[in-house]
Structure formats: structure tokens, C-alpha cells
Amino acid sequence: MLDVGCWLLDVGCFLVSLSTELAFTRVAGNLVSLMSNLSSDDIKNALKAVKYPGYSRDIVSFGLIKEANAANGAVSVSMLLTTANAEAAAQIKTDCERVLKALPGVQHVHVEVKQPAAAPGAAPAGGGAPWANQNRVPGIKRIVAVASGKGGVGKSTMSVNLACGLRHLGARVGLLDCDIYGPSIPLMMGINQRPGLSDDEKMIPPTSHGVKLMSMGFLLNDDQPVIWRGPMIQRTIQQFITVVDWGELDFLLVDLPPGTGDAQLTLCQTVPLDGGVIVTTPQEASLGVVRKGIAMFEKVNVPILGIAENMSYYTTPNGERVEIFGHGGGRKEAERLKIPFLGEVPIFTEIREGGDRGVPVVVSAPDKPAGQAFLKIAEAVKQKFS
């Protein structure tokens, strides 16, 4: 009886151990298959939960992850920061390890965080902004963005006239249309031509009025709707900078799309900007548009060159001055915020006509009041870098 009991016990144990073994094999198999299915993208997706210290954006969207692999229960991630801030690096490493260890089947985690050496005598990299050390673009001396917190205030009009104005003042100028959804530079510069291709497979930017241009408008067929997702926009803009043969430029102006949301922030982060011009209409200045523009540039460590007020007033044919949108809001806001005021541009029919005709007023009538208004702002921008 005892023997039978032992035998039964043995069989029971065997069955228990068999079922445990089977369960283990099943679970282990699941884990192995989960692990073997863990792709680089899966790892990056998981790491989107890690925010850059002090920012609401995650480390993946900042493009910090250089390598991500998984094999046999081990995940290995390599990232490159652009800041020498050791605190930020340590925090990112800890957060990444925590997130990766929580993934199913992951037993070992290796997170390598590389950083540039701190410059001797450099101030401690306080915020350590991830874009702080963006690569300069060889041949381009300065990149200046034209932005506003609002649509339709005349950013593109300002961009084309500033570009042509700086050209008029003798500078070598390029203009990059970052408005992927509604590119208006081809129309306003009077050119719609596919870029050529150089021997080293770079796009040769079409030139109009002496300014080198790149716009999504050159690459799309008319009226073709574009559905873009964030990373695609970022990659396209990056290529507009790096895969375009800009040659030697004193200024590359960047016409940003309307608003100061995530897309604009990403663009400012993608393009290594040397300064920003904020465009406002007089009444918008008091509505916080300027402050939004400033906050955006400050967030990405871009020096604000100043505010330009557009549509300041209108002069009727009999000489009467009408301040349709009020007047002076831009200057007042600039004084209040202690940033430079670059100048004002009145409403002139020829400005709108010039835009529609593809010949900016600075080109067609540089000596007339409208052209002069833009030239004054171009001079102020040029002055900032001399």
C-alpha cells in the first residue's frame, strides 16, 4: 500500500513536474518568441515613455537613440546626447533601464549614454537642451527663421522680401520654405521648378531673384494633398538642409508654418537656427502671439533678433492714414519684453500684388515706401550679425 502510495506520489510528482515543465516551456516559449519579436522599433516605442529631463518631449522624438537591439533576453540601447550635462544623462539612463526592464521577457538591460566632453571653462549646462550642439551646415554662415504665433500675418511675405532685401544689400541668400502643408514660396518668388541633381546626388536649389530656394512645392504636383506624419516632416526638413547643395550662403532664411506648436518646435530643433524674427500684426501683438513666438524660440535656445510689425496701417489714395489693425502694438510689445523692434510694414496693394505675381516689392520697387519698409528690416537683421 505504502509502495503503491509512493508510486502514486511519484506519478503525481512526475505529473506535477511535467505540467510545471510544460507550463514553463510554454511561458518560456512565449517569452522567447516575445523577445525574438522585440524589434528595434518596439524598443524605441517603449522608450517613448522616457521624457527628456525638464521637457515634455520624449528622448526618441529628440532623435537621441542611435541603436536598439534585443537578443536572448538582453536589450542593448546606445544613445548620443548633445549635452555634457551629467545629471541629465544619469536620469535618462535610469529611466530607460526602468522602462526596458519592465518589457516582457527582458532579463538584462544595457543602456549606453554617450555625451560630448564639456568645453573647458564652459558654464554648467543647466537645462542641457538636446539640440544645444546641433551641427553647423558647412557653407551656410547663419540660419534665420521667420515665425509667428499665428497664421496669415505675413510671414511668407516677410520671408521673401527679407531674402530679396538681404540679396539687395549684397548678401548671398537662400530661402527654405518649411511650410510643408501650404508652401507659398514658389508662388511668391515666381518659380515652380524641380530641383536639379548634382554629381554627388544633392538637390540643386532653383534660383529666383538671386535667391536660392527650396520648397515642398517644387517636389509635389499641383493640388496633390499631402498626408504627413511628424517624423516624415522632420526627416524631410533635415534633408532640405543636408541634401541640398546650398553652396556658400551668408543667410539661409527659413519660412516657418503658422503657429508655435509641436511641429514648429520640431522644425526649430531640426534646423540649427542662429536667430528668429517674429512677425505680428499690430492688434495680434497684444493677443499674446508675440509672446508665443518668443516662448517657442526660447524653448529651443534660438536668439530672438526682434519683432517686425506687418500691416501696420494703410494710406488711402488721397493720403489719409488708416490704422486698420491699430498701430504700434509690435513696438510696444517689443519695449515691454525688452527685445529689439525691427520695423513696421504698412498695408500696400503692391505688396500683395508682388506676392501673387512672384516679384516681391523689394525687387520691383526697392525705392518706393513698401520696398523701403522691408529693406529697413533686412538692414536691421543684417546688422545683428555684423
* 369 is a site residue for ligand ATP (CB under 6 A): no
Q: What is the DSSP letter of 321?
A: E
CB of 89 or CB of 211, closer to ligand ATP: 211
Q: Which three cell numbers stand for residue 236?
A: 524631410
CA distance 254 to 271: 9
- In angstroms, give the least distance from the CB of 184 to Mg ion: 5
* 185 is a site residue for ligand ATP (CB under 6 A): no
* 311 is a site residue for ligand ATP (CB under 6 A): yes
Q: Which does 261 bind (CB under 5 to 8 A by kind): ligand ATP, Mg ion, none?
A: none
* 149 is a site residue for ligand ATP (CB under 6 A): no
Nearest to residue 79, comparing CAs of 69, 71, 87? 69
Q: Which does 100 bind (CB under 5 to 8 A by kind): Mg ion, ligand ATP, none?
A: none
- The beta strand positions in 231-272, using DSSP E, are 249-255
Q: Which three cell numbers stand for residue 106?
A: 527582458
Site string for ligand ATP, 69-108 (x = CB under 6 A): ----------------------------------------
Nearest to residue 185, comparing CAs of 200, 171, 174, 196? 174
Site string for ligand ATP, 161-180 (x = CB under 6 A): ------------------x-
Residue-by-residue DSSP string for 181-216? SS--HHHHTT-----EE-TTS-EEPPEETTEEEEEG
CB of 184 or CB of 266, closer to Mg ion: 184
Binding residues for ligand ATP, total number by CB under 6 A: 20
Q: Which does 347 bind (CB under 5 to 8 A by kind): Mg ion, ligand ATP, none?
A: ligand ATP
Q: Tell me the β-bridge partners of 175.
A: 213, 253
* 280 is a site residue for ligand ATP (CB under 6 A): no
* 215 is a site residue for ligand ATP (CB under 6 A): no
**Dihedral sign, CA of 189, 190, 193, 199?**
negative
Figure out which of the listed residues 206, 258, 276, 293 binds ligand ATP, where binding follows CB under 6 A.
258
Q: What is the distance of C-alpha 197 from the center of its chain?
A: 25
Contact residues for Mg ion, defined by CB under 5 A: 155-156, 184
**Dihedral sign, CA of 98, 99, 105, 107?**
negative
CA distance 177 to 205: 12
Binding residues for ligand ATP, rule: CB under 6 A, are 148, 151-157, 179, 182, 184, 258, 310-311, 345, 347-348, 351-352, 355
